[in-house]
Amino acid sequence: MALLDRTVSEAGAGDGVAAEAAALNARYRDLDARDAIALAAGELYPGRVALVSSFGAESAVLLHLVSEVDRDLPVVFLDTGRLFAETLQYRSQLATGFGLTDVRTITPEPERLLASDPHRALWMTDPDLCCRIRKTEPLARALEGFDAWFTGRKRFQSATRSAIDLFEADGRRIKINPLVTWTADDLKAYAARHALPPHPLVEKGYPSIGCVPCTSRVAPGEDARAGRWRGLDKTECGIHIDLESDGSGI
């Protein structure tokens, strides 16, 4: 399939990547998660695909699946400098427990933080810019040299994710969502079957976990992501929006 033999430079045009994603979905849309990971890592993008993981509430399932396919696959973890201590501990626990050999902790540029968020209060005045400085920009740097990346997004998580597909065009890259069709019950069943350790904050009422200032407990009956940016007209940190729309094609 000639479409899959492109290089990053050849995929600079958004239309080309969109066509690639459409072709991949037409051919592989119904693959299960493990097979999709194996296909992307071993055949479509060998050495050119990474997993981006928050090591959050639902991260263990995808990390475990990846570890069973290729423990040496690069795993990108964004340490914003405002994460819960429990998340940092969970990252170490899962990386060690699953035998992951290439977990890359990426941090914001110190100069950028000093210029735009010297008092660490930007999340109160401009949360979108805060996310861009602490997440989107560091991720853009981390993904240089990769043609594709895995995410843990699932359709059931929110209305904004209800129509996502297995393969998506993401600037000049392909974004792959192996768990796109999984339900909350699927995740729980897999975690139970493999005795995966839960994030320590889940039992304390945090079913979706981000930075400390912008994450709150979720009440029974609320949407799982209701505790993210509560009270704001904001549902995503930006890495699944800004990277697609950025003029640089990142």
CB 1 within 8 A of CB 23: yes
138-147, 182-191, 238-247: least confidently modelled range: 238-247
Residue 173, φ and ψ in degrees, nearest 5:
-115, 165
Instruction: Give the residue ranges of DSSP H helices in 49-162.
Output: 59-69, 85-98, 110-116, 122-125, 127-131, 137-142
Per-residue confidence (pLDDT) for residue 245, from 0 to 100: 43
pLDDT value of residue 203: 93
User: How many whole angstroms separate alpha carbon 22 and alpha carbon 175?
Assistant: 12
Quick one: tokens of 196?
């995966």
pLDDT at residue 179 in the model: 96
pLDDT tens for residues 163-220?
789 999 998 999 999 999 999 899 999 999 999 999 999 999 998 899 999 999 998 8
Q: Which residues are catalytic?
A: 237
Per-residue pLDDT, averaged over 105-112, amounts to 97
Q: How far apart are CA 205 and CA 198, in angstroms?
A: 13
Retrieve residue 250's tokens.
């990142």
**Among 201, 227, 231, which residue's Cα sits nearest to residue 215?**
227
- Any idea which residue has 């430079």 for tokens? 9
Distance CA 131, CA 145 (A): 23
Round the CA-based radius of gyration of the chain to a whole number and report it: 18
pLDDT for 91 beyond 60: yes
In contact, 52 and 237? CB cutoff 8 Å: no
- Number of neighbours of residue 65 by Cβ within 10 angstroms: 23
What does the block give as tokens for 67?
A: 């570890």
Question: What integer pLDDT is reported at residue 227 of this predicted model?
Answer: 81
131 pLDDT exceeds 50? yes
Task: Give me the pLDDT at residue 6, please.
Answer: 47
pLDDT at 152 over 50: yes
The residues facing 167 across adjacent strands are 176
Residues 6+ apart with CB under 8 A from 8: 48, 145, 147, 172, 173
CA 148 to chain centre: 12
Max alpha carbon distance in the chain (Å)? 52
Tens of pLDDT, residues 25-70? 999 999 999 999 999 999 999 999 999 999 999 999 999 999 999 9
- pLDDT band of 111, cuts 50, 70, 90: very high
In the sheet that 49-52 helps form, which strands lie side by side, from edge to edge? 103-106, 75-78, 49-52, 148-150, 173-176, 167-170
